[in-house]
Each structure stands twice: as structure tokens, then as C-alpha cells.
């Protein structure tokens, strides 16, 4: 004769499993957060975000961002475009220069997830 | 005769530049934070971190992590190894199963940087 326990999958009889105490993120949320995380998961882009944030009103002229990074203007523009496309920075051309500003709250959902982890 | 302003670089005369109000992260910090960010900048790995965090004591058996992701055991193991190598999770084999736990504080520096941005 077969006992009930032998017929149940391991997860049901709890041989290995600790209980879940809250809801993990959904597949959809994970996909959109991973997209934003990928945009900042690069040393140059992390420094760009940090440099813009360090400027008054969290806005910096592109002319202030290129030299400290030690990268070509083309490479810096490429990284800035990825940050703008991900919704982390905005770009505003005024006269000769382009100005980049942090989008308020753009990183809040990532911070919330990782702080809660 | 040349005026003083004409001899100074643009950054010095402040034609385009807002002042820096705090210190941006260093190149070294950016490199190490980007390494950890890359590890979580993936939908499956973000869900794994969230799932482990959602379990009691922030520890989960690998047997609880594979099925909800809808990925093969080999793929899940690959993602878990990246998270362990990045110092985000620890792995502890007990009997038949491997248990994964969040490393306390592993994501603090990322949260601090992004929350301050």
C-alpha cells in the first residue's frame, strides 16, 4: 500500500521548502526593471548619472561631463543616449550646448525593489 | 589687445556650466557597483533575488525557485551562480537541496547611490 505522502510532490509535503512571506515581483515588472537596470549597469553610465546628480538642480551641461570621464565625445553621447532612452535622463538643447537632467523618480522602483530585497 | 575672458577656457568663465554641489562617485566605485548591477540587470535574476527575498528568513531552496520561473534547472543554476559570484546570494547545500540566501547589505551601496541620484 502507498501512503499519501509518497503520492504528493515534495513541495506539497514541505520536505525542503520555507514559506513565502510576501509576493515576489511579476515577470512583467522584472522585465521593465531589468531594462532600466541594464542602462545604469555600466561604469561610464553610472558615473554620468552620478555626475548629473551632483550638479545643482541635478542638471549638467554635456560640456561638463565629457572631460572627467576621459572618454571621447562620441562615446559619451552614446552612453547619454542610452540613459535618455531608458527614461533616466532628459536632454534639452539650449544654444550651443545640450543639458542633461535626472528624471525625478525614474530610479524609485529599482531602489524600492533592491532596498526591500 | 585680448581680454582676460577670451584667454580662459569656457568652463572657467562659466558660460555653460552649473556648479557641482557634491562629489560624484569615483571611477573605482563605479566599476565595482556596475559589476553588481550587471548581475541583477536581468529579468530572471531580478525575479530570483525577489523570490529569495520573499521567503522566510530571505532563504529559499532551489527546488522552490525553478518552477515559478518557467526555465530549465540548468538555466536557473546558471543565473544563481552569477548572483552568488557577485556576492548577492550565498549557496548552502544541505542534504539533497541547495539553499540560497540573500547576503545582508549586499545591495546597500547600489541602493544608496541610486536613491541619492
Q: Say how far apart CA B8 and CA A8 lie, in whole Å.
A: 79
The answer to whether position A51 is within a domain reads yes
Compute the distance between CA of residue B76 and CA of residue B67 in angstroms, rounded to an integer: 10
Cβ contacts of A59 on chain B, cutoff 8 Å: 18
Share of chain B above pLDDT 70, in %: 86
Under an 8 A CB cutoff, do A16 and B64 touch?
yes
Q: Which domain holds residue A88?
A: 34-116
Residue B18: per-residue pLDDT: 78
**Which of B40, B96, B114 has its CB closest to that of A111?**
B114
Supply the pLDDT for residue A7: 46
Q: Do B25 and A31 touch (CB under 8 A)?
A: no
CB B42 within 8 A of CB B83: no
Question: Mind listing the pLDDT tens digit for each residue in A3-42?
Answer: 444 444 444 444 467 788 888 999 999 999 999 999 999 9
What's the pLDDT score for residue B21? 84
CATH of the domain at B92: 1.10.10.10
Residue B87 belongs to some domain of the structure: yes
Residue A59 lies in a domain: yes
Q: B5 versus B18: which is more confidently predicted?
A: B18
Q: Count how many domains chain B has.
A: 1
Q: Is residue B100 part of a domain?
A: yes
Note whether residue B97 is domain-resident.
yes
ipTM: 0.78
Nearest CB to B115; choose among A37, A54, A111: A111
CA–CA dist B64, A67 (Å, integer): 49
The answer to whether residue B21 sits within a structural domain is no
Cβ of B107 and A117 within 8 Å? yes
A3-29 residues labelled b (16+ CB within 10 A) or e (exposed):
eeeeeeeeeeeeebbeeeeeebbeeeb
| Residue B87 per-residue DSSP state | T
* Interval B70-80 mean pLDDT: 95
- Is there a contact between A51 and B115 if contact means CB atoms under 8 Å apart? no
| Domain membership flag for residue B101 | yes
Of residues B49, B63, B115, nearest to A11 (C-beta): B63
Q: Where are the alpha helices (DSSP H) in B14-56?
A: 27-40, 43-54
The pLDDT-based confidence of B71 (bands split at 50, 70, 90) is very high
A84 occurs within a structural domain: yes
- The phi and psi torsions of A81 (rounded to 5 degrees) equal -60, -40
State how far Cα A99 lies from the chain centre: 21
* Per-residue model confidence (pLDDT) at position A11: 44
Res. A91 pLDDT band, cuts 50 70 90: very high
Average pLDDT over residues B95-116: 90
Pick B16's closest partner by Cβ from A30, A56, A61.
A61
End-to-end CA distance of chain A: 45
Q: Are B80 and B65 in contact (CB under 8 A)?
A: yes
- From start to end of B1-117, where are the E strands? 59-61, 89-94, 97-102
B49 contacts chain A (CB < 8 A): yes
Cα of B81 to nearest chain A Cα, Å: 18
Average pLDDT of span A75-80: 97
Residues 73-112 of A with CB under 8 A from B: 96-97, 102, 107, 110-111
Is pLDDT larger for residue B52 or for residue B13?
B52
Does residue B5 have a pLDDT over 90? no
* Per-residue H/E/C for A19-46: CECCCCCCHHHHHHHHHHHHHHCCHHHH
Indicate if the pLDDT at residue B59 is higher than 70. Answer: yes
State the average pLDDT over residues B44-55: 95
Mean pLDDT across the stretch B44-54?
95
Q: How sure is the predictor about A110, in pLDDT bands with cuts at 50, 70 and 90?
A: confident
From chain A residues 1-30, the ones with a CB under 8 A of any chain B CB are: 10-11, 16-25, 27, 30
Determine which of B33, B45, B54 to mutate to test the interface with A (most A C-beta atoms within 10 Å).
Answer: B54
Amino acid at each position: 500500500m502507498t501512503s499519501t505522502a509518497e503520492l504528493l510532490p515534495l513541495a506539497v509535503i514541505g520536505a525542503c521548502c520555507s514559506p513565502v512571506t510576501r509576493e515576489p515581483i511579476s515577470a512583467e515588472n522584472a522585465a521593465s526593471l531589468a531594462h532600466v537596470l541594464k542602462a545604469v549597469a555600466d561604469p561610464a553610465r553610472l558615473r554620468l548619472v552620478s555626475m548629473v546628480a551632483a550638479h545643482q538642480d541635478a542638471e549638467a551641461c554635456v560640456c561638463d561631463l565629457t572631460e572627467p570621464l576621459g572618454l571621447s565625445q562620441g562615446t559619451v553621447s552614446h552612453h547619454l543616449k542610452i540613459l535618455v532612452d531608458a527614461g533616466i535622463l532628459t536632454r534639452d538643447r539650449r544654444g550651443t550646448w545640450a543639458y542633461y537632467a535626472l528624471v525625478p523618480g525614474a530610479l524609485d522602483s529599482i531602489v524600492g525593489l533592491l532596498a526591500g530585497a
